[in-house]
Chain A
């Protein structure tokens, strides 16, 4: 199994508070991704990174920001959480030479009340 961890695994927070989710990998893969999973929508890409300090937006990036200061860590921040951001968040990684094969972390269940 690819070495990907996410923290926290579960979080309940109130509307308007900032939240940061962490993805950590031990594989030294270049590409990292954040997805959210919602019923009826499958997984949708929020942001991705193609190297340290190199990030770009996905299809549902509004309300989210990311940072990658080290190869192994990719942070997802909700600046001011809203109830519509209640979801399960997955991090994924891939090697640069086989970018189409992505490995997923265990997920973080976030509830915004």
Chain B
């Protein structure tokens, strides 16, 4: 079945450091891929998405490129801020639509 694997956290960075959170997936067909962010005490918010191979999703300085050849969708940001501290979830939706499959989440802590 479909699955998503993320790098384990927590990830601790200093402000202005470069961020990469790895995400790989297993799926049949051509899934859509997502990154969601959960700030402390809140629900999840969609951060960015990509619906086909080689698409790049971007939002708030974060980027991720849908790489079908490596079945990956790594999240990157060039310069993190303290306000980026949150839990980040990679997710996929298969061809059947509707059902999101989430990775286990990666906690990011950014120190001033």
Contacts and interface: CB of A to CB of B under 8 A. Distances in A.
B58 interface: no
B46 A101 contact: yes
Interface stretch (A12-20, A42-50, A68-76, A78-86): A42-50
Given A40-B104, A100-B32, A100-B49, A48 B42 contact: no
Interface in B83-102: 89, 91, 93, 97-100, 102
Given A42-B105, A43-B89, A102 B43 contact: no
Contact of A58 (B46, B89, B91, B99): B99
A58 B105 CA distance: 19
Interface residues of B, number: 22
Nearest to A48: B98
A80 to B, nearest CB: 26
Main secondary structure of the interface of B (DSSP, over half): strand
Contact of A42 (B34, B89, B99): B89
Interface in A54-113: 58, 90, 92, 94, 99-107
B93 A100 contact: yes
B49 A101 contact: yes
B81 to A, nearest CB: 21
A31 B98 CA distance: 8
A104 B103 contact: no
Interface in B55-112: 89, 91, 93, 97-100, 102-105
Contacts of A99: 97-98
Contacts of A33: 100
B8 to A, nearest CB: 9
Interface of A: 4, 31, 33, 40-45, 48, 50, 58, 90, 92, 94, 99-107
